[in-house]
Amino acid sequence: MGEVIKFIAAIVNELHDIVITIMYGLGFNVTDKQLHFWVIGLLGMGGFIVVQLLFRVLAKWSITAISFIYSITVLLVIVFAIEIQQKITGRGNMEFADAVIGIQGFIVLFLVYLVIRLLLVWSKKLTNSFTNKHNHSK
């Protein structure tokens, strides 16, 4: 897990240097804070637009899909925060496998939820179908 974080940090540092070089090349003399303001602001707005479009489409189909995406996103943040906390405090081992198995636990339990929900929906439809046929035959 530590290696994964170091790899991600190396990529971010490289991108940081590239953006700084581009900004200076274009004649913009920006501080690190100004750079963060614009880069994170633009990334956030780009992400918001994509998420807004995606969620509008999903809302027409299923609120459950939106709830799943939101839940797994929050879980990813929590899982990685826990692993980083373990590395910082030395309480437990910081391992990528721990993060993966935690997310797998959510996905398995979510699939169980979906199966139960589908069974309930199908049984309700079957019951309604039987009731409607029975009432129309009288």
Tell me the per-residue pLDDT of 1-17, one tens digit each, with 9 for 90 and over: 667 778 887 888 888 88
Question: What is the pTM assigned to this prediction?
Answer: 0.66
Cβ atoms of 87 and 1 closer than 8 Å: yes
Q: Nearest Cα to 75, choosing from 108, 48, 103? A: 103
d(CA 1, CA 110): 25
Q: How far apart are the first and last CA of the chain?
A: 67
CB 25 within 8 A of CB 104: no
**CB crowding 20-29: b at 16 or more within 10 Å, else e:** eeebeeeeee
Residue 93 confidence (pLDDT):
81
Question: Which residue positions in the chain have pLDDT lower than 70?
Answer: 1-2, 134, 136-138
